[in-house]
Amino acid sequence: MLMMKCPKCQKNIRSALLAELKVIGCDQCQAQVPVSNVLISSNGFTFDRNDLLKRFYRYRKLLDEVIEERNTMSGNNSASDVSLRSIEKFMSVLQGMMAGARDHYRCEFAQPIPVKLRYLQQECAGSIYNLSMDGACIETFSKNPLPRVNGIVTLVFQLPEQKDTNIIAGEVCWTHQGDSEGNLGHTSGVRFSNLDGPTRDVLWQFISTMAEKKLSEEKN
């Protein structure tokens, strides 16, 4: 979670959207204040976001090593429960740091959103697993062609509890091929390109509402 100290009342302002806002309202004193000196709070630890960004790749490499070590320990019957719990907690802290370093809040869906994809001169069905103002993570059935990195994909979908259809084009940034048995589909990361004003407004309203809802649930 991202947070900053209100320059008016000195109380903490918490919002997953701080990296995307220039001004934010303080819930404590109701003042509109400029966003500055953003911190990342992760499982009881606090980091200066700017300092983290300067060392991002070091922490990213450390997280990869911790995940590998966790997997090794999980397969080792002699590893103690205390050690396993500790490394899980350490991994959770690092994952929280990485999430806070993103430029855009990523909305994760418990139930993936159905989407139609157009690419390689064909149309197929898929699912959106997470969504941000910058892009989305999608999955398609492994029987469909794997999208090409740097290729253009058009997404056609409706957001939950909304009737309007969104049509957004984007560039494929990465792909992961599914298995040949069809049990695991292709996953791809798509970066949106040239969002028009109305579509940007719709996405922002939805994502910001979801972020506020999640924060409210965490407080309760």
Domain of residue 117, CATH code? 2.40.10.220
pLDDT tens string 34-78: 999 999 988 888 999 999 899 888 888 999 999 989 888 888 888
147 plus 163 within the same structural domain: yes
Residues 215 and 111 in one domain: yes
Look at the pTM and tell me if it is higher than 0.95. no
Output the pLDDT for position 182. 58
Contact between 174 and 153 under an 8 Å Cβ cutoff? The reply is no
Residue holding tokens 């994760």?
Answer: 108
140 and 52 in a single domain? The answer is: no
In the chain, the number of structural domains is 3
Quick one: 63 and 28 in the same domain? no
Residue 96: domain span: 45-100
Same domain, 127 and 85: no
Same domain, 119 and 31: no
Q: Is 153 exposed, middle or buried (0-12, 13-18, 19+ CB in 10 A)?
A: buried
Strand ordering across the sheet containing 2-5: 12-14, 2-5, 39-42, 45-48
Q: Which of 126, 207, 135, 132 is nearest to 170 (CA)?
A: 135
Q: Output the CA angle 106-108-112, nearest 5 degrees.
A: 135
**Same domain, residue pair 54 and 111:** no
| Predicted confidence (pLDDT) per residue in 50-59, tens digit | 998 998 888 8
Q: Which residue has the higher pLDDT, 153 or 110?
A: 153
Same domain for 29 and 132?
no
